Copies of this chain bind each other. A is one copy, B any other.
């Protein structure tokens, strides 16, 4: 792990945690993956994500927009049309997200359920 030795450990921890915290919203990852397949209208996002209220979805999209990961474009039409897509920053995050996903498919499937314990769960136990 030469990379670990090169960078200040504290810098690495802070940087990594900032990304993790960006993504802790329940639907953030789902919306990012959805938009990685292409631009979507609001109603398309709503129906494709599923099991999410419009209030929560709107909040998620606004947060992703403020984070600079998703771009919103409103067309002055009747009826109004609003489209969402990934920004270049959002696109750049899909690589690290895929690395996490690939790790999960390679490792979590075979791991006992115990290993999936969340920190909060352990705290409550």
Binding site for B on A (CB under 8 A): 1, 3-5, 7, 9, 11-13, 15-25, 28-30, 33-34, 36-37, 59-60, 62-63, 66-69, 89, 92-108, 111-112, 114-120, 122-123
Please indicate the chain B residues that have their CB under 8 angstroms from the CB of A33 in the complex: 4, 9, 12-13, 16
How far is B60's CA from A67's CA once the two chains are assembled, in angstroms?
Answer: 29
Most chain B CB inside 10 Å of its own CB: which residue of A9, A37, A69:
A9
- Is B17 a contact partner of A20 (Cβ separation < 8 A)? no
Copies in the complex: 2
Q: Given A15-B104, A92-B107 in contact, is the A37-B5 Cβ separation under 8 Å?
A: yes
- Is B94 a contact partner of A1 (Cβ separation < 8 A)? yes
